[in-house]
């Protein structure tokens, strides 16, 4: 999932420079993320993973790092999977 997230990040000018190399724990807000980019990234990630994150998860912490994004998306994808099975 992380590689897919990195690939989506590369589409955004504020993040394209760091998307490939930044560590999964590094702070994306310090690396160029801003609120508008976070919204656009969210919409693309939701499309990519065919899921929708709930309002309560849409915080700065969720967008803090590739690791935190992976966690939030995985939880949602897993939940969807378990509902489907």
Partner 1 sequence: MKKTEDETEPLPRDIEHAGWWEAVDRARRVAAENATDVDRGARFPKEAVDALRQDRLLAAAVPVRSGGRGMDLSELVRVAELLARGCGSAAMVWAMHQIQMACLVRHHPESPLLPRAVEEQWLIASVTSEVGTGGDLRSSAAGVASTAGSPGEEASLLKQGTTVSYGEHAQGYLITARREAEADRGNQVAVLVSREQVNLVRTGGWNTLGMRGTCSPSFDLDTSFEYDQILPAPFGDIAAHTMTPFSHVLWAGVWVGLATEAFQRAVALSRKRSRGGAVTAHPSLALAHTELMGARGRLTAAVSDIQPVLERGAEPTVSSGAELNALKVGISKSVGEVVRLSMEVCGMAGFSEDGPHSVARILRDVHSAPLMIGNTRLLATNSQLLLTLRGDR
**Residue among 36, 38, 72 at smallest CA distance from 54:** 72
- Give 84: exposed, middle or buried? Use CB within 10 Å, 0-12, 13-18, 19+: exposed
CB of residue 82 to partner 1, shortest distance in Å? 20
Closer to partner 1 by Cβ: residue 50 or 85: 50
| Angle (nearest 5°) at CA 26 between 61 and 68 | 35
CB of residue 84 to partner 1, shortest distance in Å? 20
Site residues, partner 1 (CB under 8 A):
27, 29-36, 38-40, 42-43, 52, 54-61
Closer to partner 1 by Cβ: residue 62 or 70: 62
Closer to partner 1 by Cβ: residue 9 or 85: 9
């Amino acid at each position: 999932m992380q590689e897919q997230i990195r690939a989506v990040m590369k589409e955004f000018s504020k993040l394209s420079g760091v998307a490939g190399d930044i560590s999964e724990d590094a702070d994306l807000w310090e690396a160029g993320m801003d609120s508008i980019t976070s919204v656009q990234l969210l919409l693309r990630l939701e499309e990519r993973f065919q899921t929708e994150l709930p309002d309560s998860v849409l915080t700065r912490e969720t967008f803090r790092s590739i690791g935190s994004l992976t966690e939030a998306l995985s939880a949602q994808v897993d939940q969807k999977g378990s509902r489907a099975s």
